[in-house]
Amino acid sequence: MSDAASTTPHRERGIRARRQREAQRVHAVIAGIERKIPTYELFGEEGLARIEAAADLILEEVGMDFRGDEDALRLWREARADVEGERVRFPAGLLRSILKTAPGAFVQHARNPERSVRIGGDAVVFAPAYGSPFVQDLAGGLLVTAPAAEDLTSEATSAYVLKYMGGAKGFDAEKRLRLLNLIGDLTSSDFGGYQEVLAVHAEGGFEAEKLQAYREYDFKTVAAYARKLAGI
């Protein structure tokens, strides 16, 4: 028996042991914090009125596009917005009246109730901007190779999609495809690609930031302070 073969069971036991320790580890999670300091008014009433008037003008004359979302367009029609194709224009005051119906705070429920967070009011919740940084890695190549919506409804392919695209524990294929499409829209579509570049380079590329840091930062003073703290 070779040395490699004789050490394999020991290595596998070590891997299993590490996985068991990791599964039993308790990770401290702060679901949310409560703000104790008062809010600050950056604008007076006059400034806020000017912003609202400009927003009303843009929303009424230019509007917004809701692409590929018939449910949203139907809801806007019911709310008496001006819907023309996928473009929605909002009469002055309409959005303000709708916003008044929204709650001041709500609970975003997690699968683990201990990690549910309260959003709004005095609650402060920290989250990454531009979506989860790990969601694309979790989805993998399915973002670009997953079946299209037409494959799900086609008589020739529907059965295969339902069979092979279903997830664990009864998670059906349609919900999984919807989730993949959402991730694709956010990270790998024309819109997602634009947002990714904007998030990375809007305030300067990484190399430009490094050059600026080296140009402006006082490394000698910081290094001397670090040596002082370390006692060297």
Per-residue pLDDT reduced to its tens digit, 168-214:
777 888 888 888 888 888 777 787 777 777 776 766 677 777 888 88
- What is residue 130's predicted lDDT score, i.e. its pLDDT? 55
Q: What angle do CA 188, 189, 191 make, to 5 degrees?
A: 115
Supply the mean pLDDT for the chain: 81
Nearest to 120 by CA among 29, 30, 37, 34: 34
The identity of residue 198, as a single letter, is L
- What is residue 133's predicted lDDT score, i.e. its pLDDT? 57
Q: How many CB atoms lie within 10 A of CB 183?
A: 21
In whole angstroms, how far apart are CA 72 and each of 78, 88, 225? Answer: 10, 10, 58
pLDDT bucket at 66, cuts 50 / 70 / 90? very high
Per-residue pLDDT reduced to its tens digit, 130-170:
555 567 777 778 887 888 888 888 999 999 988 888 877 77
pLDDT bucket at 11, cuts 50 / 70 / 90? low
Q: Would you say residue 39 has pLDDT above 60?
A: yes
Q: Would you say residue 115 has pLDDT above 70?
A: yes
Which residues lie across from 108 on neighbouring strands?
117
pLDDT bucket at 20, cuts 50 / 70 / 90? confident
- What is residue 95's predicted lDDT score, i.e. its pLDDT? 93
